[in-house]
Structures are given as C-alpha cells and as structure tokens.
A and B are shown apart, each in its own frame.
Chain A
Amino acid sequence: MPDVTFTVDGKTLTAPAGTLLIDACRKAGIEIPAFCYYPGLSLQAACRMCLVRQEKVPKLQTACTTTVAEGQVFVTESPEIAQARKATIQLLLGNHPLDCPVCDAGGECELQDMTFKYGAGESLYVEAKQHREEQQWSPAVFYDRPRCILCYRCIRMCGEGMDVWALGIQNRGTHSVIAPNDGDRLDCEQCGMCIDVCPVGALTSGSYRYKTRPWEMNHVSTICTHCADGCKVTLGVRQIDGDAVIIRSDNRDKSGINNDFLCAKGRFGFDFVESAERLTKPLVRNAAGALEPATWDHALRFAARRLKEIRDSKGGAAIGVIGSNRTTNEENYLLQKLARTVLGTNNIDHQRSTDYAAFVRALAGHTGKTVSLRAIASAPAILLVGGNPTEEHPLLAWHLRTNVRLNHARLYIANTRPVKLERQAKLTQEIPAGGYKDLAAFLEAGQSDFSKAILAEESLVIIFGEEFRGETVDSLVTWGIKRNNVRFAYLGDHANARGAADMGLFPDLLPGYVPVSAPGDFAEYAGLPAAPGKSMTQMFEAAGQGELGALLVVGANPISWLGANPADLKNTFVVVQDLFLTETAALADVVFPAASLYEKSGTVTNTYGDVQMVRKAADRAGVKPDFEILVRLAGAMGVDVSTLVPFGSSATAGMRGMTADLGQSRGAQAGEADRHSVWLEANGLEPKLSPFDPLAVLDEIERLVPGYTLDRLNLFAGNDGTTEPGSSPGFVPVAALTGTEHIVPAHDTLFTSGTLGRYCAGLNELDKHQATELARTAAD
C-alpha cells in the first residue's frame, strides 16, 4: 500500500494506507488506550476506549477500526474524548468489583491504569453489583466473572492465535460470561495465553494467584529450559527464606523470539526448581555403599582424586564423559575442553535427540542456508516435513499459524501422520511410512500438485523433523542447496540440544563440528587426543566389559535414556552433576547438586541456531552451576584453571588485566550509563575476573568455534543472534561421522519435559487434567 500523510494531534504522520489508526499512532509514540484491541488478532471494537475525534465526522470514531487515508485529521486527547472514555470506564466499573488490593492483576491492570488516568472515581451507577462465584476451569486457569470486562481478547487469542477455540461468550448484556468449552472445565492446550492477554484480573493463573504483587518481584528475562524453541520467559522472583524463589513465569517482556507466545511448559513448568526432591547437598557413597551428604570440599576432593588416579593409572581412554542438552553453551564447551585437555579423552557424548552433525555436514561451506526462527515467522513459503510442532515445538507452531493468518504465508505439510497444523496448510502430502528418504526425488519430479507448488515457490523454507537422520538429511539438504532458493531448519528437542552438538559433545567432533582428526584452531588444546573417542553406547559397552574406569555425567540420565543395565557401571567410578537423584545419579559414587537453567547465566542455542542469553533468576542454597562445579573439579585435580577458563591476566596473550575499572574511578559520571563499559561489552572486552565467569568462555567460543560470531551487545541486550556452524569457508566436512544409532527423540508432549517434567507438579497436574478431559470426551 502507498504511504499516506495524515495529522494526529497536530503532528503530521505517514503510514501505509489502510493501517489502523491505533497502530499508526502507537508507532509514532501517541498512545491510544484500548481494552479489546490486541495487535495481530481480529478487530472487535467492543470496548469503546479508543475513541478519537476525526475532522468532518459527526461522532467519535474507534481508532482500532479506523484505517488511515490521505489528509485525515484526528484529535486523540481532548476534554470531549476524556469524558467519553471516562463514561466508558464508569460503565465497565458498574459491575467490576473494587478488589484491586487482593487482585492478581493489581499493579499491572489496564483497567486500573485507565481509571487512574481518566479518573472515574465516582460513578452515576449506584445499583448493586452483580456478583458471581469464581470458577476453576483447569489447574492452570481460574475465571473471576465480576472482574471480566468482556473484551473478547481471550476468546480471540484462544481461537485465532492458538487455533484451539476453547473459549466462548454466553448469555447477554450484564449476564454475559466467558465460557469454557466443556461446561465448567477447559479442554484445551492449557497454554495460558488467555491469562496473558487478559487486561484485568478476570483470568488468573493457578500457579501464581494470590501469591504476591507484581511490584514485589524482580522480573528476570531469561530463556525457557524446556523445548528447543528457546522462548524468552520473564521469571518473577522473590526472596523467601534466603532463597530467590520463582513465583511466576510469563511473557511480560514480549521482546523475545516468541513475541506474544508462551506455552504451558514455559508458563507453568518452573516449579521443579522448588521441588522437595531437589538435591541441595553433594552426596558421596560411603563405605557401606550408600550415598550420604557430604561437604562440597570433601566431595570435590574425593571425586578429583579418584578421577586423577584413574586417568593416571588407566589413561584417558578409560574415562567417559556425558554432557547435557539443558546446560549452557559455556558449560558444554567447558565440559568438552575439560574432557579433552584434563581427562585426556575424546570419549564424550550427549543424549542426541536429532542428527545436527549430519545437518551441518550437509550444509558445509554454504552460507545463508539456515533460517532463524524470526525469519520463519515472516517467510512467504514454508514446507514442513515430519515433526509435530503443535506438541513438540509450540512456538514454531504459533509462528506458522500467525504467519499464515497475518501474512498469508503458504504452508505446505508433508507428513506420515496427520498433524494439527494441516488446518493452516495450503497443501498437504501424506508420506508413506519410511518415505522421507524419497522426498527430495518426489519434489524434484514435480508430478503432483504438491511438488509443482513447491517448485513454483520463489523462496522456500524447509523445516524438517528428527525423522530425518544421516543420509536422508543429506539428500534433502543437497536438493535444497541445488535449487538455490531454499533455507533450512532442523527440529531437535531440549533447550540446548543444538548447543550441546555445536559445542562438540561428540566423540569425533570438536566444537563447531570440527573433526578431532583435523583440529585446526583447536590445536591449541594441550594434550588433545587425535583419535575419535567412544560414543555413549560404546562407553556403556566398555563399562560392561570393565574397561571404563570413570564416568562423568553432567545433567543427563543415560541409564534411563539408553535403557542401559545399571550393573554395567558397578566397576566404574561415576560422578554425576544433576538437579535430582535420577536413575543414573542413584548409581553414582559422587553426586553434585547442580543449578537449573533458571539459576545461572550463559548462552543457549535453540534448534534454529539462534543464540540467546540466559540470566540467573532464582537461587537455591546449596547448589552450584555446572560451570562452577567443573571449574572446581578441575582445580581440585591440580589444574591451573586459567588454562580452561581464560580469565584474568593469564588469559590469552595477556589481553585482559586482573585489575578492572568497575566504575569507581569515573567520578561525576559514575552514576550515569557507563558508556565505556558498554563499549567493552560490545567488544567482548569487559573484565573477566573470576574463573566462574561463563562469559570468559564465551570469548573463547567466539574465538575458536566456527559459525559462532555473535553480536555481543545485541546478545547482552536480551536479543537473539544467529549462528551458522559449518558455513565458514575453511570448514572441512567429515566423511565418516559417528552413526545415527543413538539418536532418540524425546517426543515430549505439551506437558512433559523429560526429567524436569517429572518434578514439575504444575505440569503433571495439567497432564492429568487433560487426560481426564480426553477420557470424558471419549466416553461421550
């Protein structure tokens, strides 16, 4: 649409013709209040708060439905408009209870803000307020009818946004209520988006209600610890009994790659942090063979001494290391560096949920062939092959739906089974079981309408699931690269599975998928073994044959994941770092209580290669981040930790000093925004004074890992940056990669999340509720 020029409050504004006045004004910094308007959802024009005066039009107009055209003149604030808005608020308050002091929304309520602004302190409406009892629709969603202002946001969000259509409006006039789809219960995806968009306190969250007030919490923006989409969550944290406790998790910030969205796991799956079963003391196996609490000092010294003995007597080949797909990039990097330079072994692996190595190998040497989640959100044409985003990648599903709804993107779906997103698809193609390997040939042939449509697309994003491994990844990606207009995304599971792969938790690959046989820049690793090590399966085979002296497991549960025989580990010295006493931890000789992703800082990489900053929100007495545990373990083994973590003066080529100006010397400017520090941060030069500072390792990741060139300032500001491992010109693809035999996708549902999910009381309740709903529906 061509741009038009119009006047608002005496200012001349320009916007494409047809833009909604409310949007055009908000972009220009003129705020027009509205309850029912929600960007991206259909127009409701129900609340009449956004009334503005348009020149030559006899009555006040709603800014949310007025589209701008050339030469229009608007006034958005005048006594007349203020009076109209005040009258609207008076009507809304006619039945709205004045229970702000106990309402969850108090302090972040749009009605409260508007009442303050327009001052409907007294009302002409003196009739008794209609009261109705509060309802609980599900473990997650409560509805307080009298507080509802009937803006329809929840209904539209549930229907248009989530494609669930579980909410409706019933009755008429003052009797109107929002109603859930199953009588007095909600049968839905329990995403909590309705709570999020509610401008008042009518919809409240089961996990948060009546716990605290918004201003009593610190709000920390970090990245969700559950699936591989990497939504930004805002954790509300409060000090309780010396711990910083997460009271709620929501999407207050709305600046992340998830825009408005957050799913049930992001919103309600944080209570594992406070689980009573959380490990808070190191455990060491005593002479009687039982795990008993020990001091950190004792546990570290004991573990370090035994690891050192085993390394020195049996060699590094007798030690295995298993990393995590939930810890940060820095921790994974440090873990593999510790394994390779301190323990002297390439026996390192992680619980692979998808075949990232094959993906990178297929992309080797090509740039701009991967696609970030932000780009997917606005891509004109998308082919989704395999996977089930609605269940396993809720944010991706949200972006696909939104992209189709708002941008008329063309979504093509090829799958062996029906998936919910087909409702948004332009064309679907059923793939016979085991047929993914022939997909490229099928598309290239251009025989069917489906492949003809795909071939006709000017640019295409292909998103494929974990059904693709090894050769099949190769054939699809090679086809796409040949077509020259295709970009790819590969779906894995877990918050940092991509990061674990990118950071070289492979027996044959260093960080950035650099082969151990040709280490390139990694030649600076002292004592890097040249031969590939053992995969996880091979480690357990070796353990069964009594050849594995020690096993270090960080945030993983290989016993349950592999289905390994616990007896295999009886002659192995096992050290486990984890949040809970998992099946694997129960077999360990030393267990270190680790911090969760919500209790530490660092970076994580989502499955699309977007790197984001994780910030410490909660604090639990007794636990330490895996990063610190690893550094302390190395220190206890007698290693100069500055060889592992480049901090302080001994760091690379003396670039950084032990002393740093922390702002004290800046005199009059000390209290101002520290421009010098901003510059240092932007260049990765801020002082790293502690061996426990993960950012010191981030420096090394940027320096050594191909594809990890980050915009630091952007990252620190809480935005996402993209990475493209394998794209660097000198990248040598590996011919023989460790096979695909041990890729086990998690297939988490909307309410499960591996070990963490087991300890999330909130998610378990939702799972139970939805199972009951399913049973009820089936019985009908």
Chain B
Amino acid sequence: MSGETMSIFSPRLAARFDALVKKYPVKRSALVPMLLYAQDEVGYLSDAVIAEVAERIGITELDVRNVATYYSMLRFKPAGRYNIQVCTNISCMLRGAYPLLERFQEELGIGHKGVTSDGVFSLEEVECIGACCWAPAIQVNYDFHDDLTPDHVPGILKTYRSKAEGAEGTAAHA
C-alpha cells in the first residue's frame, strides 16, 4: 500500500509500514511490530487498524486477530491517556507491589484493566517489566517509576494529571 490510498495512520507511520513490509523475506513477519506501532499511535487496535494492517500484509483480518489476541500488551479497547502498569511478579510482590496496586485502585477508583471516567488513567496489573533491582516498579506508558511505596502514588498521579491538563486541546499523545 502506498500514499495514494487512504490510510488511517499518520503519513510518517504509513511510510514506516511501507518500509517494514519490505524488510522481511515473508511479509507477515512485520505483523507484530506493526501492531505495536499502530497501538502507540491510535491508542488501541481498533477494527480499522486491524483491517488496514491485514490489507498491508495481505493476510486476513482473522489472521491478524489470531496473533494480536495472543499478546497481552496489545489491546482492543482504548486505554487511558496514561496507562499505569503495576508489576506484581515475584521481586515486586515481595517488596510490596500489592499494597501499591491497592493504593492505585483506591486513588483512581478503578480496578485491573479499568479506565477512569475522564479517560486520563487506566490501570493494569502486569507481568515482569524487567526492573526487579528497583522493585516495586511501575510503568506509565513508556516511563518507569521504581522503588515505590504506596505513599508515592498521589504524587505520581498528580504529575500526570497536571500534564494531562496542560496538554488539553493540544496534540494528544506524548
């Protein structure tokens, strides 16, 4: 697919995809990176994303869903602007990940996979994010916060909330 066809992606991402599908001996090898990039831009894998990715690679939408549903990092519903991912694997758990997660739940009033009503935050309990040395750790979109206690929670939320308010009306994603 090239520029002349309608794409739901930004021209930059569309160009990146054009290059990606040519990069591998088999086109469908580009599928997982494409889904990740598409999710970063659109926020989630909408039906339109799946349809366009399928068309770019030349496989069925069913094929795309077969792969996409395998990965828990890929989502089919919009997350909040800031997706808080709390690791509860062994190191984090031993160093207090559950009280941390509970604090996030209390502060935000949402549970696992929930999204706040204003759409600013979403919360997820995730597997190891590779920050065991500084456990417990969380990831907010692509930013790490580590060595946390539940008392850090209000501060973290405040930072992002003010960021969100500051970004209101301007281009969406950081």
Contact = CB atoms under 8 A, between A and B. Distances in A.
A675 B63 CA distance: 57
B62 interface: yes
B65 interface: yes
Contacts of A168: 62-63, 65-66
B69 A165 contact: no
A179 B65 contact: yes
Interface string B146-158: 0000000000000
B61 interface: yes
A171 B72 CA distance: 9
B62 A172 contact: no
Interface in B51-83: 60-63, 65-66, 69-72
Contacts, number: 27
A181 B70 contact: no
Contacts of B69: 170-172
A166 B62 contact: yes
B60 A170 contact: no
Chain B CB within 10 Å, residue with most, of A165, A167, A168, A171: A168
A170 B67 CA distance: 7
Contact of B61 (A169, A171, A181): A181
Contacts of B63: 165, 168
Contacts of A169: 66
B61 A179 contact: no
Contacts of A170: 65-66, 69-70
A165 B65 contact: no
Contacts of B66: 168-170, 179
Contacts of B60: 165, 181
B65 A172 contact: no
A777 to B, nearest CB: 11
A169 B63 CA distance: 9
A45 to B, nearest CB: 18
Nearest to B60: A165
Nearest to A165: B60
A171 B70 contact: yes
Contacts of A167: 62
Contact of B70 (A165, A166, A172, A180): A172
Contacts of B61: 181
A491 B101 CA distance: 69
A690 B65 CA distance: 63
Contacts of A179: 62, 65-66
Nearest to B63: A168
A172 B73 CA distance: 12
Interface string B70-102: 111000000000000000000000000000000
A641 B63 CA distance: 64
Contacts of A166: 62
A166 B66 CA distance: 12
Nearest to A177: B69
25 contacts: A165-B60, A165-B62, A165-B63, A166-B62, A167-B62, A168-B62, A168-B63, A168-B65, A168-B66, A169-B66, A170-B65, A170-B66, A170-B69, A170-B70, A171-B69, A171-B70, A172-B69, A172-B70, A172-B71, A172-B72, A179-B62, A179-B65, A181-B60, A181-B61, A181-B62
Q: Report, nearest first, the 4 A-B pairs whose CB atoms are least far apart.
A: A170-B69, A168-B66, A181-B62, A168-B62
Given A170-B69, A172-B71, 17 more contacts: A166-B62, A168-B62, A168-B63, A168-B65, A168-B66, A170-B65, A170-B70, A171-B70, A172-B69, A172-B70, A172-B72, A179-B62, A179-B65, A179-B66, A180-B62, A181-B60, A181-B62
